[in-house]
A and B are shown apart, each in its own frame.
Chain A
Amino acid sequence: MIRMASTRSIFDIIGPVMVGPSSSHTAGAVRLGALARAIFGEQPAVARIGLYGSFADTGVGHGTMVALVAGLLGLKVDDPRIPDSYELAKSMGLDFSFEEAHFDEAHPNTAVFNLEYPERDKQFYIVGSSIGGGNVVITQIGDYEVEATGDLPVIVVSQSDQPGVISAVTGLIAAAGINVASMKLSRKRRGADALMLLECDTQPDKSIINELKTIPQVHKVRVIPVV
């Protein structure tokens, strides 16, 4: 049995305020779209969205597709414009399409985002699942396996897999007075590129991004906000 031992707030019980019909298939889908947008860093121009499992089977009746698009447009889970997100996407310049996604094994409510901004030569591959009650988790960004929930802000650092980089990064974060709640590190292979996700208790200031970029082995830094 799944236990929600982490329930701390009565607003997890009386709430969230959301557009229906389903916390997992609608509200969770909005949050997945919003997280994918936040990871991309802006609204993409083109979004090819793959649906897997229950998202593909019952998505139409649950409004899962309009919800995913709404999230990519930056709407919140209680925005009354969610059902009309397709029209909104047209006016906001988001070109989207849907297809069925295939995995050997994945959570039944999984979406795959292929996000592009061709003019800027920018392309992202993001996989995430809606795991119940509006809770979501991003499990893959590009080649990296990750874990980001949108519940706390996350600093994403892509870096070289070399000794001392982790302590240099965490040292600067500590100096900025930011407490790290959780940390996940993954790499493509030994000595290649690595990705570090640091979940923070407080929203990091923009200045930390520039500070982290001064570390020679750090390639890119991004902050994924709470969605």
Chain B
Amino acid sequence: MPYSSFSTLLEDARRDSLTLAECIQNREALDSDIDVAEVRAQLAEALQIMREAILQGSKADISSRTGLTGGDAAKLFESVNSFEAINVLGPRFTHILAASMATVELNAAMGRIVAAPTAGASGVLPGIFLTLDRDHSLGDEALINGLLVAGAIGACFAAQATLSGAAGGCQAEVGTAAAMTAAAVAYMLGVENGAYADRDDTPKWENLHETVGHAASFTMQGQLGLVCDPVAGLVEVPCIARNATGAAVALAGAQMALAGLKFPIPFDEVVDTASRVGAAIPPSLRETAKGGLAVTPTAKRIACELQ
């Protein structure tokens, strides 16, 4: 059955005394008719492909099929540990931005990526996951639990809103990617570290798990209305940069939730809002390349040159 709402997912987990990740993996096993170990094995494989994609996409000489983009992730990575580079962010934040761009630069170069939830928004989740893995030594099991939570949050948007830029603007793609990643970060760093001991303690259990929803809500409120305006209709400009800025918003949302802040509008209502706002974005700003950055004189010149 489709993921109808986050609140029912929480109720299911609570009723069966399961963590959120356990509840989601059991449900996936049931729906896909495979066992839980196979669900986790497939997610482990996805993680491995994400790792390879970041490595491949970080190469300085990578170039998209059109030659329009490539090499920006490498430049950002260089600035992470450079003494000469001007840094307004800490090295980890910069690393996350670079890693988020790397996957999408590889995507534009016809490399192999994992859509999360789409190819154009494939950078946010792995960029954040794999940088945090490095810094927090999370390990694959925790990352797989994070993927389960991210997948369920994304599935809520898929069921109640949309994941298509043509239907809901970039809010539906990078916006959803950022929201599901923020939720997963809140889960991996916040819930997993304390949830098991408190499983019988109703308010604490719920508060901890609601942190996941708050992280997604804080993130999506910052991405509502985000337009899809690809230059020359391609998944390059501004998509690659937009994955990096989406990752930044995701980190902000996760941090607010982890600090105990509560977004006053429940997550399920935020999903519904995303659906309404996405539909209200004019068609010219929904992947048609007929508005936004795509119709600037420079974009038109680029489109002309590529023809």
Contacts and interface: CB of A to CB of B under 8 A. Distances in A.
Contact of A61 (B31, B107, B151, B234): B234
Interface in A70-105: 78, 80, 82-83
Interface in A2-22: 2-22
A187 interface: no
Nearest to B42: A11
Nearest to A16: B115
A55 B243 CA distance: 24
A110 interface: no
B3 interface: yes
B169 to A, nearest CB: 11
Contacts of A17: 45-46, 49, 112-115
Contact of A12 (B110, B125, B155, B235): B155
B302 to A, nearest CB: 10
A56 to B, nearest CB: 11
Interface residues of A, number: 40
Contacts of A41: none
A132 interface: yes
A205 B259 CA distance: 57
A81 to B, nearest CB: 11
Interface stretch (B88-96, B156-164, B218-226): B156-164
A143 interface: no
Nearest to B1: A8
Contacts of A9: 28, 31-32
A20 B111 contact: yes
B86 to A, nearest CB: 31
Contacts of B148: 10
A175 interface: no
A10 to B, nearest CB: 3
Given A11-B42, A14-B114, A3 B162 contact: yes
Contact of A8 (B2, B64, B125): B2
Centre residue among B65, B114, B119, B161 by max chain A CB count within 10 A = B119
Contacts of A6: 2
B298 interface: no
B292 interface: no
Centre residue among B115, B162, B164, B279 by max chain A CB count within 10 A = B115
A222 interface: no
Given A1-B168, A5-B159, A23-B119, A61 B233 contact: yes
Contacts of B152: 10
Centre residue among A4, A19, A78 by max chain B CB count within 10 A = A4
Centre residue among B110, B162, B236 by max chain A CB count within 10 A = B110
Contacts of B28: 9-11
A50 to B, nearest CB: 19
Interface string A41-65: 0000000000000100110111100
Contacts of A16: 114-115
Nearest to A60: B306
A94 B236 CA distance: 31
A210 to B, nearest CB: 29
B24 A20 contact: no
Contacts of A19: 110-113
A32 B123 CA distance: 26
B279 A82 contact: no
B278 A1 contact: yes
Nearest to A132: B164
Nearest to A109: B166
A33 B306 CA distance: 25
B66 interface: yes
Nearest to B3: A7
A54 B106 CA distance: 22
B167 interface: yes
Contacts of B212: none
B164 A10 contact: no
17 contacts: A2-B164, A7-B2, A9-B32, A10-B155, A14-B150, A15-B116, A18-B114, A20-B107, A20-B110, A21-B108, A21-B120, A60-B306, A62-B234, A63-B65, A83-B65, A132-B164, A133-B163
Given A1-B278, A7-B158, 19 more contacts: A1-B168, A2-B167, A4-B163, A7-B155, A13-B150, A14-B125, A17-B45, A17-B113, A17-B114, A18-B112, A18-B119, A19-B111, A22-B120, A60-B66, A61-B66, A62-B234, A63-B65, A78-B112, A83-B65
